[in-house]
Copies of this chain bind each other. A is one copy, B any other.
């Protein structure tokens, strides 16, 4: 699938700034890279915003220009899929702070003419959402038939319903949470420390030189473990050795799981900016939707008119089912209509990105239910 001809692909806009951030800073300019699929209906009633996860991007259903890989959620979005560009106008934007065309630490700071680096302001999930709202204004999209996201995409979807309740008719939140736990923060902090410990990081001022690839690879390796289940790792790798017949009694990657992790780390540094990793993990750690609403999560949803659909996976230990259940309880307390299902999968947190026919059936049924 390619981007719709009317809108083209690899789209990019400089929003009429500035954007006032939660940290108090006015950010300008605000550039947002995005993709669209399908056409906006005359009544504007078919727009769906898809929000991506930590290291995701706007290429949700079309080939990634840098890696040449298919879009990251072609299982969910495409002809005959729950979200179908033949019917829906699908929008996906690279989040603020990222490195795929939207403003982030690798963007040029107009005050200096050089990349922002660590002078880029710290952002929040709500800041990402505000930038997306400006993009929708630019596209002439008033309200959303649905907002859909997994993992950090789910955080954005939750924040959308709280920040712009009048614009959201339905929200699908998959494998997500309303706040980062101490353990979530701890894993991210390990990743950040790994990046900052890399001498190439140079306090974030590495653009034009060697990036902190080794540190970023370690950060990715640590995070990647949290995306998989213990059972899934055992099933996929167990204690199986690499091509060798026996242990090497050395420090090469003897076990398949070691080789796999090293590959995950190395391939990641080719497509992601280390400073963006710092900023986006920080935004996730700061996220606590209840805290933004007087400490009571239900308060976040009192103005919402949306229907909600929550999906969790039983082997997800990053954002376990108990987190989704807390959100459901808050939605119930706020009187919001919500359907919730915990699906069974061996794949842990990553399940939402993989083949999950049940997830598709749930999302399809939910989106059709509103028509």
B197 x A239 contact (CB < 8 A): no
Q: Mark A228-271, 1 if CB is under 8 A from B, else 0.
A: 10100110111100000001011101110110011001000000
So how many copies of this chain end up in the complex? 2
B121 x A239 contact (CB < 8 A): no
Does A215 have its Cβ within 8 Å of any Cβ on chain B?
Answer: yes
Does A199 have its Cβ within 8 Å of any Cβ on chain B?
Answer: yes
Q: A-side interface residues toward B, CB under 8 Å?
A: 22-24, 118, 121-122, 179-183, 185-187, 189-190, 192-194, 196-199, 214-215, 217-218, 221-222, 225, 228, 230, 233-234, 236-239, 247, 249-251, 253-255, 257-258, 261-262, 265, 278, 282, 285-286, 288, 291, 317
Q: How long is the Cα–Cα vector from A24 to B249 in the complex, in angstroms?
A: 9
Q: Can you name 28 A-B residue pairings with CB atoms under 8 Å?
A: A24-B249, A122-B249, A122-B250, A181-B233, A181-B238, A182-B230, A182-B233, A182-B239, A183-B225, A185-B239, A185-B255, A186-B221, A186-B233, A186-B257, A189-B257, A189-B261, A189-B262, A190-B261, A193-B261, A193-B265, A194-B194, A197-B198, A197-B218, A239-B288, A239-B291, A251-B278, A254-B285, A255-B285
Using Cβ atoms and an 8 Å threshold, which residues of chain B touch A214?
A: 197
B233 x A183 contact (CB < 8 A): yes
Using Cβ atoms and an 8 Å threshold, which residues of chain B touch A122?
A: 249-251
Q: How long is the Cα–Cα vector from A87 to B40 in the complex, in angstroms?
A: 83
B185 x A257 contact (CB < 8 A): yes
A218 x B239 contact (CB < 8 A): no
Q: How long is the Cα–Cα vector from A23 to B179 in the complex, in angstroms?
A: 48
Which A-B residue pairs are the 6 nearest by beta carbons? A197-B214, A23-B249, A182-B233, A122-B249, A182-B257, A182-B237
Of B196, B238, B251, the residue contacting A282 (CB under 8 A) is: B251
Using Cβ atoms and an 8 Å threshold, which residues of chain B touch A247?
A: 286
Known contacts: A225-B187, A257-B185. The answer to whether A215 contacts B197 by CB under 8 A is yes
Using Cβ atoms and an 8 Å threshold, which residues of chain B touch A217?
A: 193, 197
Q: Select from chain B the residue with minimum beta-carbon distance to A197.
A: B214
Q: How long is the Cα–Cα vector from A234 to B22 in the complex, in angstroms?
A: 25
Least Cβ–Cβ distance between A217 and chain B, in angstroms: 7
Using Cβ atoms and an 8 Å threshold, which residues of chain B touch A261?
A: 186, 189-190, 193
B249 x A182 contact (CB < 8 A): no
Using Cβ atoms and an 8 Å threshold, which residues of chain B touch A291?
A: 239
Q: How long is the Cα–Cα vector from A189 to B286 in the complex, in angstroms?
A: 29
Q: How long is the Cα–Cα vector from A181 to B254 in the complex, in angstroms?
A: 14
Q: How long is the Cα–Cα vector from A334 to B249 in the complex, in angstroms?
A: 30
B187 x A249 contact (CB < 8 A): no
Known contacts: A182-B233, A218-B218. The answer to whether A258 contacts B189 by CB under 8 A is yes
